[in-house]
Structure 1
Amino acid sequence: MKTLLFTFILFTMGISARGTEKRIITSDGIDLYVKVKGEGTPVLYLHGGPGSGSFWFEKFFGEFMEQNFTVIYLDQRGVGRSTGDKDDDYSMERMALDFEEVRIALGFDSWLTIGHSFGGILQAGYASLYPNAHKGMIMVNGTLSLVDSFCNSWGPKAAEFTGKNSQFPCDTPENIKANLGAHINNLREQDLFWKMAFREASNEKIVDATINEVPGWNWNFGSLALDQESYWKDYRGFTREIKVPVLFFYGDQDWMVGPEHYKGINFPNMMLWASPGGHFPFIENKEELEASILAYKTNYVL
């Protein structure tokens, strides 16, 4: 367990019906945007993307979460309303330390985390470095291995949808990133990208539009995350060591992560919840997701 020796600065921006907005300055000088809202057990939202931010989650699923938990909405360093540029440290170790500095600044002894998509990688890395910070974990359509998700679901499905680039080399992260970019271009050219994550094309537009509601969106982490070696680690084997209760919610049509990704995951204390849907249940399958979280809360959360 690491010892934390740091100085942080916390500024409260305002308290209103929107919740308490704060700026937390990390030990290396990054200005993090944080909002705290709701009542009950604290839960930190770890967004995916990488680089998608916390705004859309608050907008589309915040009301339910805030009725059941104290929710900490965080824009990770280099994302959204937080600072960070290409010269900053975006390693897993630094991200996990950010989360710890936020937790301590807010005065929580421990908390839950809820992660979506790439947020699953961040949850696992955080839990491996700071296990005592966790009461439990809620994983919503989360990946624990980028290689498995890209090579066994993302790439093959994109090739099927577009009829192009059926070869998807998985020998190195560099080749995976190159072919991922090619697939994205093919999907965009044919206006098919929505099929990777949504059941309806209109819902992709709804999610994408939220970015325009936040002026000056910071994209630095999103553009650099896959260059970090630490995010290519396969955390599926590590799941055996995570003793806290875990809700693992997945979609049987989630081609971004993979509908069979769960088969390599072995949390000892896991509630596995299969959902008929894609990558964004916050919009397309809210009732099912709400039911799973309430069941998890009833059975596991004090």
Structure 2
Amino acid sequence: MKRTLWVILGVILLIASITGLTWRSDLPAVELMMKYTTPNSGWMMTGGQNIHFTDAGTGQAILLIHGTGSSLHTWDGWNQMLAGPYRVVRLDLPGFGLSGPQPQGDYSREMYLTLFEDLRKALDIDRWTVVGNSFGGRLAGYYASDHPEVVSGLVLVNASGWPKTESSWNIFDLAKGPAGSLISHCTPKFLIERTLHNVYANDSLVSQDLIDRHYELLLFPGNRDALRDRLLEDYPDWTPETVTSITCPTLFLWGTEDPWFPESDARAWFNAMPNATFKAIPNAGHLPMEEVPVRTVAQFQPWHQMAIAP
């Protein structure tokens, strides 16, 4: 009995010490805005909050949507290469980047689609091609399905949304569980670094600047609580029946070394789509547009020129 009490006490002390070492306060919003806004940054008030976006270039419009735990900066490579011949629009989704948490805690499908439409109208864009990675790909698919009149093309980059045939644990599963509230305050940087190494196929491309950006923007005021709220929201997966509602030309860009969403599942999704093209990206992980932007843009541009009428 005495030994059991000592073990329990030891565990409590260990948890307390780890908590003390990893406890992190939010970083000042102004400091992060000064560091992470760009020359093309803009702000749009919608749903009671200011949404951070960038708008660069001319020509046919493209909307780039990032995934969970990320920000519009994940598209830096694409923006640099495409913002000449195209009008490239990126945004920080509510709860991520510099946009901060949604004031009402609303992370519903409807909120996101309203946001995209508000942004399109604010920028006076009639139609655009919508590109999404991971959770952003799921949202892009919803948008193409619900608003075919404004979505001229769809690009799914290692997107979520198709039922998984095999389970794979990731850091976001931790945030959904009992430890989720603790993660809102205890945010070890090594966990961010480990996750990036996991989703990149080439470890040498995980730079300190990349780690710092992901970590610091997670510490934007309210973003950690928002991450948990967003992860607890339920979003419907596609089925062979419902996916036929997406009628626009669709391009699958898939990093073949994705530990979370395997190529085999993506191929099943692709086979159910009525008007789709599939391009595998070898030696790239879950974020191929960030890891190998030159190779992914090289697949995107010819497809867009052929599939999307000006």
* TM beyond 0.5: yes
- Name the SS for the 2:98 alignment partner: coil
2:289 matched to 1:287? no
Equivalent-residue separation in structure 2 for 1:218 and 1:40 (angstroms): 36
Equivalent position of 2:24 in the other structure: none
Change over 3 Å in CA distance of 1:125–1:294 after alignment to 2: same
- Name the SS for the 1:64 alignment partner: helix
- Name the SS for the 2:168 alignment partner: helix
Equivalent position of 1:200 in the other structure: 202
8 A contact 1:153–1:257 mirrored in 2? no
Equivalent-residue separation in structure 2 for 1:42 and 1:253 (angstroms): 30
Say which of 243, 256, 262 aligns to 1:239.
243
Equivalent-residue separation in structure 2 for 1:176 and 1:217 (angstroms): 17
Deviation of 1:74 (Å): 0.7
Q: Which has the larger radius of gyration?
A: 2
8 A contact 1:53–1:80 mirrored in 2? yes
Residues 55-79 of structure 1: CA distance to partner in whole angstroms, max 9, x if unpaired? 2322x33211213321111111222
8 A contact 1:196–1:256 mirrored in 2? no
More strand by percentage: 1
Change over 3 Å in CA distance of 1:20–1:195 after alignment to 2: closer
Residues 234-278 of structure 1: CA distance to partner in whole angstroms, max 9, x if unpaired? 124332221111110112211122221213212211111011121
Equivalent-residue separation in structure 1 for 2:196 and 2:73 (angstroms): 20
Equivalent-residue separation in structure 2 for 1:108 and 1:129 (angstroms): 17
8 A contact 1:137–1:247 mirrored in 2? yes
Say which of 42, 47, 52 aligns to 2:70.
52
Equivalent position of 2:125 in the other structure: 108
Deviation of 1:101 (Å): 0.6
- Name the SS for the 1:67 alignment partner: coil
8 A contact 1:83–1:218 mirrored in 2? yes
Q: Identity, % of aligned pairs?
A: 25
| Cα RMSD after superposing both structures | 3.1
What are the equivalent positions in structure 2 for 1:216-227 lying under 5 Å apart? 216=220, 219=223, 220-227=225-232
Deviation of 1:291 (Å): 1.6
Deviation of 1:180 (Å): 11
Equivalent position of 1:92 in the other structure: 109
Residues 104-161 of structure 1: CA distance to partner in whole angstroms, max 9, x if unpaired? 111111111111111111112222322222011111111223x51xx62533xx7xxx
Equivalent position of 1:273 in the other structure: 279
Unaligned runs of 5+ residues in structure 2 are 1-37
